[in-house]
Amino acid sequence: MECISLSKEEEDNMKILWLYRYTPHRHYNHWLHTDFAFNLARQEEVVLRFYGWKMHERSDFSPLLYCPYNSEMTLEDIRKEFKFDIIILDCYNRAYKTVKLRTLWLPSDFKTIQVPKICIEGDYHNQKNPNWYVDFGFNLMLHRHYANVLRARKQLPIRNHWLPCSIDNTIFKPNPDNERLNKFCFVGESNGRAYQYRNRALSLLMKKGLIKKEPLLREELYLQCLQNYTSYLSGSSIYDLDIAKSFEIMASGGVLLTNETEDSGMQMLFGDNSYCTYKKDCSDLSIKANLILNDKDYREMLVTNALNCINTKHTHTIRSHELLRIIKRIF
């Protein structure tokens, strides 16, 4: 595969080098990562190219792939042909060859190259060494979760801004042909200490026979699952995250039931009457669950408001425009 060069028409556009690691068994979250990058690349006056570990293994990355990864290639080598203006790393953990974070694949001159560097970070709450971003010379952190913005501003001498999750509303959408089962559903991961609020609620709802627990479904099966039930249990984790699953549930036309939080951005993102919350100790869970299941007008109000909010504020296209405005304002 040969490196992709620019056309004359593209030379004056904003040029972004998007760094990422492809891992097959983790690619089920592509909607938030590479799908968003593809949307950003479709915006006017933007040229975006992928580069990273094993990115050449997926043929659907080829239209945006600069060239296959080469351990000898530096960023300055890439810049000779693709004169990028901005480097974006999509999460710190993707700078490593595996999820165990042992071996970096980043080009050898990543720390020293004099080009603005942005990290779009979804996992700052898991970062044990906040100085990692300082050491690697990042100029800007864009956090997917509002609570992580608050954390990072206390720890990092770097600009920290909020770039919330977003969705493709042509993929995550209601299916009018489906007759939804009036029951709660939980689909996804529930293992680990971080998910104690959703686990507590899941256990209580299962004892009452009010919820169907699905495994970690992927691709079309996941999309279909989000169209099959009236209501879905989620949770912010102990880190008060405004997680992508919440956006996906609401965009697909289900009622979101999630725990109350202190620092989550959910209220700022969606306002009142777009989703329903339960207390972390689940003391009001039964009341909230019965309200959702038994009051059709209440369900329809939440769904209508949530869909309106998603479609007017939280699509990939809207978020791409927000990202470009941030870049132009700061750099």
Asked whether residue 172 is domain-assigned, the answer is no
Indicate whether 245 and 299 sit together in one domain. Answer: yes
Q: What pLDDT, on the 0 to 100 scale, is given for residue 5? A: 65
The average pLDDT across 236-245 equals 93
Indicate whether 152 and 27 sit together in one domain. Answer: yes
Indicate whether 300 and 320 sit together in one domain. Answer: no
Indicate whether 77 and 197 sit together in one domain. Answer: no
**Percent of the chain residues past pLDDT 90, beyond the cut:** 88
The average pLDDT across 20-40 equals 94
Indicate whether 70 and 12 sit together in one domain. Answer: yes
Distance CA 37, CA 46 (A): 11
Tens-digit pLDDT profile for residues 105-126: 999 999 999 999 999 999 999 9
3-state secondary structure of 287: helix
Asked whether residue 1 is domain-assigned, the answer is no
Indicate whether 284 and 197 sit together in one domain. Answer: yes
Tens-digit pLDDT profile for residues 187-223: 987 777 888 999 999 999 999 999 999 988 999 999 9
- Residue 66 predicted with pLDDT over 60: yes
Indicate whether 64 and 155 sit together in one domain. Answer: yes
- Residue 1 predicted with pLDDT over 60: no
Band the pLDDT of 281: cuts 50, 70, 90: very high
Distance CA 285, CA 268 (A): 23
Asked whether residue 176 is domain-assigned, the answer is no
Residues contacting 169, CB < 8 A, separation 6+: 251, 310, 311, 315
Indicate whether 285 and 156 sit together in one domain. Answer: no
Q: What pLDDT, on the 0 to 100 scale, is given for residue 2? A: 54
Distance CA 47, CA 58 (A): 20
Asked whether residue 3 is domain-assigned, the answer is no
Asked whether residue 2 is domain-assigned, the answer is no
Indicate whether 300 and 231 sit together in one domain. Answer: yes
Band the pLDDT of 104: cuts 50, 70, 90: very high
Indicate whether 151 and 12 sit together in one domain. Answer: yes
Among 73-87, 158-172, 184-198, the minimum mean pLDDT is found in 184-198
Distance CA 59, CA 141 (A): 30
Indicate whether 136 and 230 sit together in one domain. Answer: no
Indicate whether 122 and 235 sit together in one domain. Answer: no
Distance CA 212, CA 226 (A): 12
Asked whether residue 260 is domain-assigned, the answer is yes
Task: State the total domains in the chain.
Answer: 2
Domain limits for position 126 = 8-166+315-330
The CB density around residue 12, as the number of other CB atoms within 10 Å, is 10
Give yes or no for a contact between 184 and 231, defined as CB atoms under 8 angstroms apart: yes
Q: What is the DSSP string of 95-153?
A: GBSSTT--SB-S-TTTTT--S-EEEEES-GGG-S-THHHHHTT-SEEEESSHHHHHHHH
Kindly report the CATH number assigned to the domain that includes residue 242.
3.40.50.2000
Asked whether residue 175 is domain-assigned, the answer is no
